Amino acid sequence: MNPDLKPKSSPTRQLVSDIVELGELQLELLKADASDAAKNMLASLAIAVFAACLILAAAPVLLTAVAHWLTQQTELSMAASLASVSAVTAAIAGVLGASAYHLAKRGAKSLERSRGELQRNLAWLKSSLTSDDAGHPPRSAK
């Protein structure tokens, strides 16, 4: 290490040490939050893929069969039966899509803890760099 790059004063050395420690803590928090977010996002992705597969793979055959059955059981025309079956299927897909959306939103909120902690740490760092006496960052309760 170049001796000219070493901190000259004790407060500067302490500030650099605090910055490194904050960086390490921030990375640990981000890792934990990213893991939580990935788990929550995985569930929403699985539901969305399932909903898409249901509509794309089974819809043509299943909906046509149900519409034929509905035509035979009621006085509805084939067009009315197809429209009725399509409306019910669209409603089911809408519920599944809304569930996936809400799970994805909840998963994304897992990262708010890291963002908030980073904002507090940056605010402390700015105030420490502008003041003569470098204090320690506020520790959040665990």
Tokens matching residue 122: 């940056």
For residue 134, what are the CA distances in angstroms to 20, 118, 126, 139?
Answer: 14, 18, 10, 15
Helix axes 78-109, 10-53, angle to 10 degrees: 170
Digit-coded pLDDT (tens) for 53-93? 887 887 788 889 999 999 999 999 999 999 999 899 899 99
- Domain limits of the chain? 37-127
Digit-coded pLDDT (tens) for 16-52? 788 888 888 888 888 888 888 888 888 888 999 998 8
